[in-house]
Structure 1
């Protein structure tokens, strides 16, 4: 149903007044076409990309200088995002990852298993395509690949669309250095790479922990109480001060609003779990997303259920699933309208800043990109 213009104006006015009290910083950028990917290329720059079926664009954007100023923000007049580099693509971008320590970006179109490699050309405003990575799997899969990158001695990318076609590929040589040898055709929803170990989550909620140094085929670890969900996704929180990958928490989010948090050392037991108190307004399996805050202990962000991003504090949860309310909600995208549907814009993706505790970027179906730093009274341990 089309939103009444008067109602929309009232929502906009209410949110703007409230934002003066709830945000330390709030900046809005409007892309020509919407993006479903945001990834950091440095602590000051991010990449976004269009997902139109035909010609799209990859943009590297510099954060607003006013946001980055630690002092005398009022003296900094520059509130805009700046385009650092860009290029055009021949199709949509559904997945994008920057490879840490390099100028390389890896993308996938969401339609095939082929990956595209891009170079952020130094001392230039150009992003240049440098090649492709073809899946070595014999199975023909008409489905896009998930991508994960991590800290390894040789820059590599983990990719796959099914459990049975996950591969680890060296970027310099294009050589497949690992392939999961199994006939499992469960569809992947999430991948996470940690040195020689990776985690894979399927759409049905099963988790796999794989050591690429051994030929052992892992057994699935199912999600408890997952029968009502039609889709699951995952994210991993690691202790940045510890080189041991075992010291991490794994969170699984279901389309039925259930979150299960486990320790990697015992993934069959829920350390914390909760039923999220949020309304579902759209196709939640397409953009559903969960992410751990890298600089704010025990906090996760959730989007894809409605035109908002919710922040939750998992340290207040228990081993029993109970309804829980968000610590904070960003409603800024609700003030915009998707031109295709005449409905409030829907969140396509979000990402935390790597070091600023409460700074989050979010994008929506109307092409808006918001960067926001919220003000909230946190528990003493946060």
Structure 2
């Protein structure tokens, strides 16, 4: 299976790099220029949690240069965390990293430590008390460069100023309701959405204490059922911002106009890109930063699926490399490169990191895939 996939991948990819991490990584973020990647990983067997700063190889950044000396990821510096790492964000203006695990503890690290090669822990900030034991989420808005949005439940969602090491806004929601996602409404706003474990999306405005608006189409039967929803938001301002919500349980994907987000503009059955994976607790959905009509999803079925959304939802490519290498592994997360079109990175439970870019002529429809 692995040999077959490697042979077929030559025809399918413009670029494909694989790298073995010390442990599986569920948290990824880019440096400000896109030539550095930050990776957060945890190992239950070794009871260790690592943060790595990796230099992206020149072969990926400039693939047209065939004589690149650096063709593999290299570690620039690293550090350890006492807490598991589920989400990670790089704050370039502060030269800091923020991480969250299970619970509402935000751990802050300095990338400019006096100890060369070390990512140094600086401070821990708790966004609510008591601390619920649910997966945490992090968001960063570059219009507010020192502030992050963090939370693991609706009631623990908070805006945290990492320059002042202080909470500047605390939501008034129910502390017991776990989150499946967090997102700012747009780059120019500090308003934000919470996606609950029941599939409900709520809008919060830091100028007021209570929720501003809430969807009514929630299903309480999903309560505490795990991570079965994912969302992402794209757009530079609230006039052109779109919101996407993916549901693992009813196999639907919905798109919303930010100005009328209580009802979807369009919705569709989620096309399965390979065998359905009901055991993967991770679900990730991302808008492409380069193409309005491209999205990517992992955790719903095997591999990472890339879809076009116009005129209707259609699967155009599936990265199956993680399952091809190890049959019992699952994709943990994935991320688009901020400036290189169609370049994605993805990680899996076996500790693999893949950087890949599919071929321009490899726009595969569902019909052509299932003819095989």
Q: Is the 8 A contact 1:237 1:292 kept in 2?
A: yes
* Deviating 4+ runs (over 6 angstroms): 224-229
**DSSP 3-state at the match of 2:169:** strand
Q: CA shift at 1:85, angstroms?
A: 1.2
Gaps of at least 5 residues in structure 1 are 1-10, 318-323, 338-342
Match of 2:303 among 293, 308, 311: 308
**DSSP 3-state at the match of 1:315:** coil
**DSSP 3-state at the match of 1:215:** coil
Check if 1:192 corresponds to 2:183: yes
Q: Is the 8 A contact 2:132 2:175 kept in 1?
A: no
Check if 1:147 corresponds to 2:138: yes
Change (3 A) 1:310 1:130: same
Q: How does 1:74-85 map to 2 (within 5 A)?
A: 74-85=66-77
Q: CA shift at 1:107, angstroms?
A: 0.7
Check if 1:283 corresponds to 2:279: yes
Check if 1:41 corresponds to 2:31: yes
Q: What number of residue pairs does the alignment pair up?
A: 350
Cα distance between partner residues in 2 of 1:81 and 1:347: 19
Cα distance between partner residues in 2 of 1:266 and 1:182: 22
CA shift digits 1:48-69 (9 cap, x unpaired): 1221242221111111111111
Check if 1:22 corresponds to 2:19: no
Aligned position for 1:5: none
Aligned position for 2:349: 365
Cα distance between partner residues in 2 of 1:226 and 1:273: 21
Cα distance between partner residues in 2 of 1:376 and 1:352: 16
Change (3 A) 1:127 1:218: same
Gaps of at least 5 residues in structure 2 are 364-372
Aligned position for 1:3: none
Q: Is the 8 A contact 1:359 1:371 kept in 2?
A: yes
Q: How does 1:157-306 map to 2 (within 5 A)?
A: 157-183=148-174, 185-193=176-184, 194=186, 195-223=189-217, 231-239=228-236, 244-256=237-249, 257-278=251-272, 279-284=275-280, 286-306=281-301
Check if 1:334 corresponds to 2:334: no
Q: CA shift at 1:101, angstroms?
A: 2.7
Q: TM-score, normalised by structure 2?
A: 0.87
Q: TM-score, normalised by structure 1?
A: 0.85
Q: CA shift at 1:360, angstroms?
A: 0.3
Change (3 A) 1:183 1:331: closer
Cα distance between partner residues in 2 of 1:45 and 1:152: 21
CA shift digits 1:230-262 (9 cap, x unpaired): 5211110114xxxx3342110000113210011
Structure 1 residues 212-221 or 33-42, which shifts more?
A: 212-221
Q: CA shift at 1:288, angstroms?
A: 0.9
